[in-house]
Amino acid sequence: MNHFQYKGTELFAENVAVKDIVAKVGSPVYIYSHATLERHFKAFDNAFNGVAHTICYSVKANSTQSVLKTFINLGGGVDIVSGGELYRALKAGVDPHKVVYSGVGKKNDEIEYALNTGILMFNVESEQELTRISEIASRMGKKAGIAIRVNPDVDPGTHPYITTGLKNAKFGITIDRAMEEYKRAATLPGIEVIGIDMHIGSQLTKVTPFVDSIEKLKIMIGKLKDLGINLQYFDCGGGLGIQYNEEEPPLPADYGKEIVAATKDLGMHLVFEPGRNIVGNAGILTATTLFTKERDDKNFIMIDAGMNDLARPALYGSFHGVQPVVKDQDGMIVADIVGPICESGDFLVKDREVPMFKQGDLMAFMSAGAYGFAMSSSYNSRPRVAEVMVKGEKFEVIREREKVEDLVRGETVASFL
């Protein structure tokens, strides 16, 4: 459920008409519903009532400060993949002991920053990374809490670009090699082995791959215990999907029931890294129709938002529902909705039946809260759009629209030119 609903013929974000937001802020604009963010976080968190757990929101899905602050206020932590994401989370007030650091390419200065911050643990993704963390922590006189991200080689049945748990993925350490790395980690200076981690992919619509992966890791946990390596944290990762179109992902409560049953005998503190599942349907991107064109029985609707604003359709062929902000169109039409970027791949909708938008009409791309603004760019020297958060009858700009002056900030013309 989300809080973007029609009242009569007008689309509302909670109790604010979307057209009123655009009238004040301009177009295109990302709009987030605070009530939806809060509802989705609580639904996921409540799925694990009675079990020791921490919800570490996956910052990469949407790193906007107000979004982070919403989850932090509800007791959440964060899963980060860069020093920049750590900085954002700390600015938003996260408890450092609720921070887990994932990612295959942690730089020295990022490791040092995380150690000085006092994060809970690094999710180690390679043998060389483990050695590097040990060296840096030892030099700094600190202990780095670590979990090894174990690649369980389970097919999650999702898009190849967001599948991360197969043996040929760049992520994690293979399940065959992980035992040896745990043994080595236990002997390394500056390292405290405290957990185990898995993350098998994104936009999963079944619980079975999660459970299958947990069962594989439980065998490893038992073997480690026999060696005197007692783990405290089981990071189950993220990846639970949402409904973009006709998908039927499990509810967090159903997912929680299965995960709790699979881990109940371990006596470990569970960590989860949901991202898309709690922000995806909490945001929309609104855009304005600029022109329409018909060519060889092909219809095009040109809008003021492009692949630089919402990359997922061009990158993954992803589906985003399209709804009119005001329902006054004359029927439906099969069309491509395209942006102003000089690329043939600049489309947000391809060969789909949509309302017959006319010049000046506003449209909303649904389920755009995850990997929308976070993946946007200034390609074609287009300033990035504004972001707005709605709460009840109020709304605020939480990120100003970039100006053309921002496009050259930090640039200089070489002195020899």
Please say if 236 is a catalytic residue: no
- Coil, helix or strand for 338? strand
Nearest to 318 by CA among 361, 285, 362: 285
Long-range contacts made by residues 108-113, C-beta under 8 angstroms, separation at least 24?
108/132, 108/136, 109/83, 110/82, 110/83, 110/86, 111/136, 111/144, 112/136, 112/140, 113/83, 113/86, 113/87
Per DSSP, which regions of 73-143 are E strands? Answer: 77-80, 99-101, 121-124
Render the burial of 209-231: b for 16+ CB within 10 Å, e for the rest. Answer: bbbbbbeebbebbeebeeeebeb
Rounded CA-CA distance 251/40 in Å is 10
Q: List Cα–Cα distances, 375 to 104, 299, 312, in angstroms.
A: 19, 28, 8
The per-type count for the chain, helices as H runs and strands as E runs, is: 11, 21
Catalytic residue among 246, 264, 342, 393: 342
Rounded CA-CA distance 255/339 in Å is 38
> Which residue ranges are tagged as binding site for pyridoxal 5'-phosphate?
239, 273-276, 371
Can you say how many angstroms the Cα of residue 209 is from the centroid of all Cα atoms in its chain?
20
Structure tokens at 129: 């990374």
Helix, strand, coil share of the chain (percent; to 5): 35, 30, 40
> Which residue ranges are tagged as binding site?
239, 273-276, 312, 316, 343, 371
Cβ count near 380 (within 10 Å): 14
Beta bridge partners of 236: none
Rounded CA-CA distance 194/54 in Å is 15
25: CB partners within 8 A, 6+ apart: 386, 388, 397, 401
Q: How does strand 362-365 pair with strand 16-17? A: unpaired
Residues forming the active site: 342
